[in-house]
Amino acid sequence: MSMTDIRVNPTTRMDAAQMIESEPEERYTQQIIRRFRKNRLAVAGLVVIILLILTGLFAPWLTPHNPNELTAVFSASPSTTHLLGTDQVGRDVLSRLIYATRISLIVGFITVSIYVTIGTILGLISAYYGGWMDMIVMRLADIFMSFPYLMVILVVVSILGSSLTTIILVLALFSWPTVARLVRGSVLSLKELDYVKAGVALGLSPARIMFSHILPNALGPIIVNATFGVAAAILSEAGLSFLGMGIQPPTPSWGNMLSDAQSLTVLTNQLWLWVPAGSILLVTVLAINFMGDGLRDALDPKQ
Amino acid sequence: MLPYIVRRLLIAIPVLIGITILNFCIVNLAPGNPVDMFIDPNTPQQLVEAKKEMLGLNDPLIIQYFKWLWQLLQGGFGYSFSSFAPVTHIIGERIGPTLMLTSISLTLGLLIAIPIGILSAVKQNTRFDYIITGLSFIWTSMPQFFLGLGLIYLFALHFKILPTGGMLTIGGDDNFADRIKHLILPVSVLTIAIIGKKIRYVRASMLDVLKQDYLRTARAKGLHAFIVTNKHALRNALIPIITVFGMEIPLLLGGSIIIEQIFQWPGIGQLTMQSILSRDYPTLMGLNFIAAIIVLATNLFMDILYFVADPRVKYN
């Protein structure tokens, strides 16, 4: 290609610019949707997640019994009245499983939205301003990441007292660094691109450059990370509740339902008390991970 | 290389100080104070005050922090609230079993994940690759306590070929076979979690390298596929894997709490649970601090190793 080919005259350049401008916004979204739909496992994951959300929303209409109602039969094996049997104090296991969906989804989605917001803002600031700001934010991230995740969360939640709010806040407090590092990384490379420099030259405010020019281009990895984060948060809550430091009974959570199986009698003879709760937890996490994987391929075709 | 290591160590200093501050804050968030919690409510107020004064609980928080730090610099974490033994001593007794469990799992994880990940990359988009990818998804999504309980149910209660937990058979003779039997289930749970994640990393890292021009050159020269994969590609693919395995340490330490609880393994995970239940703050502070130091040290070591392994890494 010769030099003359590259030097286009101003009018054609305008046309090109207009063409890019007029490329409808949804073309890009449509592309992503098309690529996502090709991944059958990811679509299946999405369907499962939607079903779970609906289950959580309509729990009162779906449950055969009140989840906290004590019936006369303790540890009854599955029957027509109690499809998945009853637990050690006579509550219907199926109804508790259905209600527990709410806890898992609330913890998963709210925790992630909190820490992704914090992590994104800190990552943006850190990368955009650099220097001291960057040093402080990144060292803070190092400090928080040095504590083994589950261990420190367990200790903090046990000290503060375990309620749904504490669990969410503590999980978020120790999860933002990954997002901050991720955002910082992509902003550092985006910052060097011409369109950002053009923005600076035009005198746009740093906030406008960061949020409306840099952030949209760094969104892909953030969304993927957030999706996997939902699965991780759900697993962490279940782990905490399993150890007796998370959601406290009578509120049902998949983790605290599995906690009963630490007794060998339950483990051996009352499979309905722990196998369904563990399986639904596995399916939920698997569905979210499949979806995250599909999103990664759809948002970043290079990989 | 030396300037890089020095720089890296200098960066670690503020992080270390931050760890001590955060660790101190966490434990002092506790409402009330330990004396009120442990002492008999009928004790005369004067005695309670004297005890608080003795333990330094009436000092401002910042003074308490520096006292704790001073103690730390002399190599101590104080005394346990529940057993009154030195915390260093209690942790020292329990760290061995945890290190054994985690190091065996990590080694096994490496030995299994690397070859399978490579094979999966080399045979990209074959049935083998799909099965391995599918399995690795299931393994990463598997809640460790569910897998642990399932394995106990199957192998200890149903088939009765392995013990349900503990490190040794109580009252049995302490032999090698017995120890191995007790290790199998907890090690399997941790190893499965590790290989699930790592297979995908190894695969992705290998695929990245396989696309490089120098590999095409190697193949074009007529080198045997085996040599291209294992000599030219593997060396470069392994570099990012070093760091990724380093990142596994905090997850292993955290995960060991659940594993040790399920399998009654007498390590620091079980100690953490016991200290939480007995509100033994000095021990918790010690545990948290040691765990954070282990993580900090491994990260430092991995960074330096990465720098040594990959001459392309620029330090700024």
Q: What is the pLDDT of residue A18?
A: 52
Q: How many domains does chain B have?
A: 1
Cβ-nearest to B22 among A143, A160, A285:
A143
Domain ranges of chain A: 29-59+92-298
Instruction: Give the pair of three-digit tokens for residue B277.
Output: 């239940």
ipTM, interface predicted TM-score of the complex: 0.88
In a domain, B287, yes or no: yes
- Determine, for residues A160 and B299 on separate chains, whether the beta-carbon distance falls below 8 Å: no
Instruction: Give the pair of three-digit tokens for residue B220.
Output: 């074009």
Bridge partner residues of B106 (DSSP)? none
Overall CATH class of domain A29-59+92-298: mainly alpha
Question: What is the rounded distance in angstroms from the CA atom of residue B255 to the CA atom of residue B253?
Answer: 6
Please list every residue in chain B whose beta carbon sits closer than 8 Å to the beta carbon of residue A267. Answer: 149, 152-153, 157
DSSP-derived secondary structure for B58-79 = TS-HHHHHHHHHHHHHTT---B
Provide the domain limits for residue B246. Answer: 87-309
Question: What is the rounded distance in angstroms from the CA atom of residue A86 to the CA atom of residue A70?
Answer: 9
- Determine, for residues A289 and B141 on separate chains, whether the beta-carbon distance falls below 8 Å: yes
Q: What is the pLDDT of residue B53?
A: 73
Q: Which residues of chain B have pLDDT under 70?
A: 30-41, 54-57, 172, 313-316
Least Cα separation, residue B261 to chain A (angstroms): 8
CATH code for the domain in which residue B163 is found: 1.10.3720.10
Q: Which residues 8-27 on chain B approach chain A with CB closer than 8 angstroms? A: 11, 14-15, 18-19, 22-23, 26-27
Q: What is the pLDDT of residue A91?
A: 86
Q: What is the pLDDT of residue A3?
A: 42
Q: What is the pLDDT of residue A6?
A: 45
Q: What is the pLDDT of residue B31?
A: 66
**B288 in contact with chain A, both atoms CB, cutoff 8 A:** yes
Please list every residue in chain A whose beta carbon sits closer than 8 Å to the beta carbon of residue B23. Answer: 147
In a domain, B137, yes or no: yes
Residue B69 CA to its chain's centroid (Å): 24
- Determine, for residues B19 and A146 on separate chains, whether the beta-carbon distance falls below 8 Å: yes
Q: Which residues 50-109 on chain B approach chain A with CB closer than 8 angstroms? A: none
- Determine, for residues B291 and A285 on separate chains, whether the beta-carbon distance falls below 8 Å: no
Question: What is the rounded distance in angstroms from the CA atom of residue A157 to the CA atom of residue A169?
Answer: 10
Q: SS3 sequence, A213-278?
A: HHHHHHHHHHHHHHHHHHHHHHHHHHHHHHCCCCCCCCCCCHHHHHHHHHCHHHHHHCHHHCHHHH
In a domain, B183, yes or no: yes
Task: Measure Cα distances from B196 to B67, B130, B187, B202, B207 in Å.
Answer: 44, 14, 14, 11, 17
Residue of A nearest to B283 (CA): A155
Q: How many CA atoms lie within 13 A of B20 on its CB side?
A: 17
* Residue that has been written with the tokens 């199986």 in this structure: A261
In a domain, B286, yes or no: yes
* Residue that has been written with the tokens 């922090």 in this structure: B65
Question: What is the rounded distance in angstroms from the CA atom of residue A23 to the CA atom of residue A27?
Answer: 7
Mean pLDDT in order along chain A per 10 residues (303 residues): 44 50 65 88 95 94 83 76 80 91 96 97 91 93 91 90 93 95 90 87 87 87 94 95 91 91 84 92 96 89 55
Instruction: Give the pair of three-digit tokens for residue A277.
Output: 């709760």
**B37 in contact with chain A, both atoms CB, cutoff 8 A:** no
Q: Is the pTM of this model over 0.80?
A: yes
Cβ-nearest to A152 among B11, B288, B296:
B288
Identify whether the C-beta of residue A144 lies closer than 8 Å to the C-beta of residue A133.
Answer: no
Question: What is the rounded distance in angstroms from the CA atom of residue A133 to the CA atom of residue A68?
Answer: 51
- Determine, for residues B262 and A262 on separate chains, whether the beta-carbon distance falls below 8 Å: yes
Cβ-nearest to B145 among A145, A245, A258:
A258
